[in-house]
Chain A
Amino acid sequence: MYIEQLVFIVSSAALIGCALMMVIAKNTVHSALFLVMCFVASAVLWILLEAEFLALILIFVYVGAVMTLFLFVIMLLNLDIISREKGMFVRFLPIGIVLILGMLAMMVYVISPEHFGHLVPVHESADYSNIKELGMVLYTQYVYPLEAAAALLLVAIIAAVGLTFRGKAHRKAQNINEQLLVKKEDRLTILKMPSEGKEE
């Protein structure tokens, strides 16, 4: 129990610290890396809650794939645009702090044990399978939103293709048929010309 609390405190502190650093960091790449750290820290929290499958998904999908792509995008973009707006952070800091404090006070007041009670996660036995439980409800109870989400993914594909595909005319694509049917005469021209003697 003691170790669990220690892990909780350390990873929560890491989560808050990294989230803060993500906003503060000047370098966008650093921001993205701090976000990665946030994901890792919250994955630890999820494991403490015994949601192992979701925690692993968070690491595999978000840390492994999404954020890597994100870093690619950041590195491909022109970062000068961002550095030009350096003064923005300081300029909006006062109003930001007021908003954050107000929001924080409200949340602390509302999300207190008084309203939620002391929720202690229930420990399941060792042979309890997260994936099985998820699968059972995902394909039965939540099949309707699941199907809608499937349609949503299809839309994302269509939209991505629609927004980026520039048509065959602009691409330098190979025409395999034409390549295979090519004859020697199409590519080689044999010229007859008198041989030149060696220059003296």
Chain B
Amino acid sequence: MPVQVPDLTPAVPQIYVLIMTCVTLLVSLFASKKHSAWTYILSQLTLLGAIVLTLLYFHHKSQVTFHGNMIVDHVSMLLTIFICAITFFVLLYSRDYIKQHKMPNTEYHVLVLFSTLGMMILVSSYSFVSIYVGLELFTLPLYALIALRRDSAVYSEAAMKYFVMGAIASGMLLYGLSMIYGATGSVQIAEVVKVISALPSSQHLIILFGLVFVIAGVAFKLGAVPFHMWVPDVYDGSPNTVTLMIATGPKIAAFGLVIRLLAETMPDVQLAWSHALMLIAVLSIGLGNIVAIVQSNIKRMLAYSSIAQMGYMLLGVIAGTANGYAAAMFYVLIYSLMSLAAFGLVAMLSRDGIDIQHIEDLRGLNERNPWLAFMMLIVMFSMAGIPPLAGFMAKIGVLEAVIAVGHVWLAAVALLFAIVGAYYYIRVVKVMYFDDPLQSTRIDLPTGDMRVALTVNGLSVLALGIFPGILMSLCQAAF
């Protein structure tokens, strides 16, 4: 049997990340304590290199390689670029935190890189097998990252919860996928689509049976109601920088999972999964926004807000049109930028005994550091969906998509809860600007590059709100 060598060029960014991660691991293993900065530098080079390599390939058309296991199209490339860029910022924001909290430097960086690689594989998978392996590769390092400081019972508990919930979700997903494999006889998405569209609708029952489990697994990974229970506990129980990691990149990867498994694999039963997602989205938006109001812990509040935001993102997927998918993609990219800034600020301010746990800890931030307060203000207003910020444009996009297919009531419900949600976002702003600070000492971010990065991050939310055109058209071109 002649062996056909797959075309490796589309996979170059992933191969590069894998090799560089191993190099980082070896270098930091043999480097002395003095040179521990090399771990950080090599990790950042890995991520930057992956972005550059993906950009170099960006003008190509979509291409399926590795015997139909991998697809490189504009969806995967755009998501890959954002995943790598966001992980770059995550590592930058967490550099000081891991030093202060004595987390093992090498393991932290290498696990983050492997998780990034898993996300890259996930968004560019084109078969059930590689989707599953990619999913495991991106979640497994996260469990370990949470528990990396073993001495803390809180972290261990959070890791345990995340691990058990993640295992159940993976099991569900795998069961659903095995059902679809049983019905179609293939694990490759291109084949599965063909078989499903050829099936008479009386034979769809088995597909729907598998679909239920797939949706449950996907909703677990997104952290959407009714599979959301782990979100607040894990966000709250993890070290701040790990929360930062979990709350940003994985959301983009989970969106990739939704697109690959639902939009691309099962366009013929779109009606069935969009009804299920409708329920999930409405519950997420409702529960997330209402429960977030009573939270006094800022990480829990942001966790419930992420549940609600994932609900909004799903609105675009529910629409089931190219415009809808593009709007959902725009939404998830903007959301990860906002949550990067919000959790990043929380992570970077938590040092020297000042631990940002409660919203009250941000009291009078404006007097202590007006610029940081302004950045947080931009992010909070953007999350609430106030113009002219990016969050507003993102919400407009998904609502427009959902109205275009005739679900006006869905848009109305979403809008109503957006108003409810505005309360708790604006409360943070009120606490920062109008409450008296408990201490009047000035606080600042640890280093200059972090200040620059947070500024870039915050202003990008503003800039993408005023000029959403470029990213929006990239998203639209992807579908």
Contacts and interface: CB of A to CB of B under 8 A. Distances in A.
Interface stretch (A70-78, A108-116, A176-184): A108-116
A187 B195 CA distance: 80
Contacts of A110: 205-206, 209
Contacts of B150: 163
Nearest to A140: B3
Interface in B189-242: 203, 205-206, 209
Given A141-B67, A144-B66, A156 B206 contact: no
A151 B18 contact: yes
Contacts of A142: 67, 69, 129
B113 to A, nearest CB: 10
Contacts of A141: 67, 69
Interface string B1-32: 10110100001000000100010010000000
B345 interface: no
Contacts of B18: 147, 151
Contacts of B6: 143-144
B250 interface: no
A152 B182 contact: no
B111 A159 contact: yes
Contacts of B84: none
A155 B114 contact: yes
B58 to A, nearest CB: 21
Name, among A142, A155, A156, A158, the residue most crowded by chain B CB atoms within 10 Å (CB to CB).
Answer: A155
A145 B206 contact: no
Interface stretch (B90-98, B130-138, B394-402, B469-477): B130-138
B41 to A, nearest CB: 19
Nearest to A137: B67
B110 A152 contact: no
A154 interface: yes
Given A145-B69, A162-B104, A162-B107, A152 B206 contact: no
Interface stretch (B139-147, B277-285, B333-341): B139-147
A136 B1 CA distance: 9
B63 to A, nearest CB: 13
Contacts of B3: 140
B43 interface: no
B127 interface: yes
Contact of A163 (B69, B114, B134, B144): B144
Interface in B58-116: 66-67, 69-70, 104, 107, 110-111, 114
Contacts of A140: 3-4, 67
A110 B208 CA distance: 10
A98 interface: no
Contact of A144 (B69, B117, B205): B69
Contacts of A136: 1
Contacts of B147: 163
Contacts of A161: 107
Nearest to B128: A145
A148 interface: yes
B257 to A, nearest CB: 15
A110 B179 CA distance: 10
B134 A148 contact: yes
A193 to B, nearest CB: 49
A162 B69 contact: no
B426 interface: no
Contacts of A152: 118, 133, 136-137, 140
B373 interface: no
B428 interface: no
Given A115-B183, A115-B205, A159 B130 contact: no
Contact of B206 (A115, A148, A151, A155): A115
B127 A155 contact: no
B263 interface: no
Nearest to B212: A106
B69 A159 contact: no
B183 to A, nearest CB: 7
Interface of A: 106-107, 110-111, 115-116, 136, 140-145, 147-149, 151-152, 154-156, 158-159, 161-163
21 contacts: A115-B183, A115-B206, A116-B206, A136-B1, A140-B3, A140-B4, A141-B69, A142-B67, A144-B6, A144-B70, A145-B69, A145-B130, A148-B133, A148-B137, A151-B137, A152-B118, A154-B114, A155-B141, A159-B140, A163-B144, A163-B148
For the complex of A and B, 7 pairs with smallest distance between CB atoms: A159-B144, A162-B107, A144-B66, A144-B69, A148-B133, A145-B130, A141-B67
Interface of B: 1, 3-4, 6, 11, 18, 22, 25, 66-67, 69-70, 104, 107, 110-111, 114, 117-118, 121, 127, 129-130, 132-134, 136-137, 140-141, 143-144, 147-148, 150, 182-183, 203, 205-206, 209
Given A144-B67, A145-B132, 9 more contacts: A144-B11, A144-B70, A145-B127, A148-B137, A151-B18, A155-B140, A155-B144, A159-B107, A163-B147
